[in-house]
């Protein structure tokens, strides 16, 4: 016998699902990331998107790459995403 809250088309946990309200703009934190942190996050994202998941030992290399000038970061991102700009 099926559980009373389940139906063939709906999993048992579906009745617990609900949408969260949108965030209030007044509660947002006014934080600006340093360029180095932005570069580090973008490099992680570009590597992962390119199918190259960073290994635990790659953190130091990514940190060093993140300190390089903007034009180097732009080239790295372009190479990893295979686009021309």
Which pair of tokens denotes residue 73?
């970061």
Q: What is the pLDDT of residue 21?
A: 86
3-state secondary structure of 5: coil
In angstroms, rounded to a whole number, what is the distance separating the alpha carbons of residues 80 and 42? 11
Q: What is the pLDDT of residue 56?
A: 84
What are the distances in angstroms from CA 63 to CA 6, 24, 30, 42, 66? 49, 33, 24, 12, 5
Q: What is the pLDDT of residue 54?
A: 83
**pLDDT tens profile 22-64:** 888 888 888 899 999 999 999 988 888 888 888 888 889 999 9
């Amino acid at each position: 016998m099926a559980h009373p809250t389940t139906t063939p088309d709906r999993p048992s946990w579906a009745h617990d699902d609900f949408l969260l309200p949108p965030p209030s703009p007044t509660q947002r934190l006014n934080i600006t990331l340093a360029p180095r942190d932005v570069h580090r996050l973008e490099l992680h994202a570009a590597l992962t998107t390119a199918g190259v998941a960073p290994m635990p030992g790659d953190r130091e290399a990514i940190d060093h790459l993140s300190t390089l000038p903007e034009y180097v970061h732009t080239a790295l991102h372009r190479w990893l995403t295979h686009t021309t700009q």
